[in-house]
Each structure stands twice: as structure tokens, then as C-alpha cells.
Amino acid sequence: MKTERTFLGVPLVRPKVGFFELSSCEGCQLQILNNEASLLDFLSLVEIVNFREGMKEKSNDYEIAFVEGSVTRRDEEERLQIIRRNAKVVVAMGSCACFGGVNQLKNRFNDLEWVKKEVYGDYPIESRRAQPISAFVKVDLEIYGCPIKKEELEKIVTKLVLGQEINHPNYPVCMECKANENICLFDLGEPCLGPVTRAGCDSWCPTNRMGCWGCRGPVPAANLKQLEEIVEQRNIPKERLLDRLECFGGFAQAAQEMRDKLKGGE
């Protein structure tokens, strides 16, 4: 007789899931495979039917689709539409899928034809503005980070399976940094987006003495004006702050406004 899987007495139904990649480094998918200690437990929660990086077999019969990467070509947009039609739940996985990620850095150049020429020479290739997947399809859930934090993914998948509500932290990385008793990177003369970036990474970068680059996007009600004041007080060039604000796309609008001010000499 087959034993029914339960969690705290609640019957578990293993949903069929697929993992897909668009324009990306596939580092978020690799994070899943890297977590050997809990990989088998994770696999027991879901039935993976499509995961090019981890298996040869594939099926389009899935309920939950995890999509990594940004949209930079027409065929990716078309593929994304098919994924959306097949899935009951679409999850944007990682900064590229959520905000455009590192790929969107090319959007700063007004002439994308020039960008293609510089990168690919005369080799013919289609490449347009990098955009998050939410620009083309309805996204039901976002998992932030570059790459995603594997422990966070496992918690979210567990809640999906159990039908529990999923809430992301609504406080900044600074709170996790203080909890980890880290030295403030500003005190070391380094710029950091911790005061305005959504927590959930357990202050991954600051704990390793690297200022936050904002890969998880802005915390609700992010006080960017105060961040600018902190940077000025510490005599850190605003260009260094801009480098971070522009990197992953989550702060794209704020970065553009700041750059416009710098150009205007304000």
C-alpha cells in the first residue's frame, strides 16, 4: 500500500514543475543543484518534469513554471507566452527575470545597434532591450536575488506545496546586517545599497565585506534621498553609487533620475 506523504499531518500533493531559462547565466538554476544537503528533500516536494540543466527528459505538462532570465529576443517572448499558457503559476526566479538583471545594463545606451556592433562585430544577431518577464506575461510570484538564495527557494516551494501564503521581507538588508553583527560598510568607505534593498539574503554580501549591490530590488518605501545624503557625508562619489543602482535593474528609475541630475549639474 502506498503511503501518503504528509507535512505536520497535512497531505502533500507533489505539483509538476518546470524550470526554464531565457537570457541568463543559469546561475539561479545551478543554485538548486548545488544544495546537495537538502536536494533530495526538495525533490520529494515536487515532481520536476522539465529542467534542462538537470535532466534530459522533458514534458510540457507542468503546473508551476520557474523562469530564469530576461527577455532580449522575439523568440524568448514567444516561448514565454507558451510557458504562461501551460502553467497555472509562473514564478520569476532571480534578478534577471524580476528586473532585467545585469542584462539590462545595455539599455543605458540609446543606440542598441551600436551595442551589437561593439559586442558582436558583423555577426548577425537579434538583441533588443532587456526586460523582465512581467513586461510580457502575468507573474504570480517573484524570487529575488543574483543568484537566488537556495534556502529561500526551498522555503517558498514548501509553502507553495502546502498552499500557504508567501510574504517577502518588507525591511532592508541593514536589519539583517545588524543582526549578523557586521561592521557597516559605509564606515569602511564602501558604498552599500543595504539601507534601501529588500532583505531576505541574510546580508549575504555585507557579511563577506562587500557592499550590497541591490540585486533583490528596493524595499517598500525605500528612502533613496537619505541614501544620497549618507553617500555625500562619507565623501563617496555618486558615480560609485550609480554603478550599484544601475546594476540589476531594480533601481533603474531612481538611477536614471540621479544620472539626469548629475548631467544637469544639480
CATH class as words, domain 6-162: alpha beta
Contacts of residue 259, Cβ cutoff 8 Å, sequence gap at least 6 = 242
Cα 241 from Cα 221, distance rounded (Å): 19
Q: What are the C-alpha distances in Å from 129 to residues 45, 73, 156?
A: 37, 8, 30
pLDDT at 2 over 80: no
Give the number of other Cβ atoms within 10 Å of residue 75's Cβ: 11
Q: What are the C-alpha distances in Å from 6 to residues 9, 40, 79, 162, 228?
A: 5, 16, 35, 10, 50
Q: Which residue has the higher pLDDT, 132 or 124?
A: 132
Contacts of residue 124, Cβ cutoff 8 Å, sequence gap at least 6 = none
pLDDT at 162 over 90: no
3-state secondary structure at position 217: coil
Cα 11 from Cα 18, distance rounded (Å): 22
pLDDT at 174 over 90: yes
Question: Tens digit of pLDDT for each residue in 192-210?
Answer: 999 999 999 999 999 999 9
Q: What pLDDT is attached to residue 71?
A: 98
When the pLDDT of each residue in the chain is averaged and rounded to a whole number, the result is 91
Cα 168 from Cα 173, distance rounded (Å): 12
Q: Please state whether the predicted TM-score (pTM) of the whole model is above 0.85.
A: yes
Span of 37-41, 121-125, 149-153, 169-173 with lowest mean pLDDT: 37-41
3-state secondary structure at position 68: strand
Contacts of residue 156, Cβ cutoff 8 Å, sequence gap at least 6 = 141, 143, 166
pLDDT at 164 over 90: no
Question: Tens digit of pLDDT for each residue in 208-240?
Answer: 999 999 999 999 999 999 999 999 999 999 999
Domains of the chain, residue spans: 6-162, 173-264
Span of 4-8, 19-23, 95-99, 137-141 with lowest mean pLDDT: 4-8
pLDDT at 1 over 60: no
Cα 31 from Cα 81, distance rounded (Å): 25
Q: What pLDDT is attached to residue 111?
A: 87
Cα 206 from Cα 211, distance rounded (Å): 5
Cα 258 from Cα 208, distance rounded (Å): 28
Question: Tens digit of pLDDT for each residue in 252-262?
Answer: 999 988 888 88
Question: Tens digit of pLDDT for each residue in 6-65?
Answer: 666 666 688 999 999 999 999 999 998 887 788 888 888 899 999 999 999 999 999 999
The enclosing H or E element of 34 equals helix 27-34
Q: What pLDDT is attached to residue 163?
A: 83
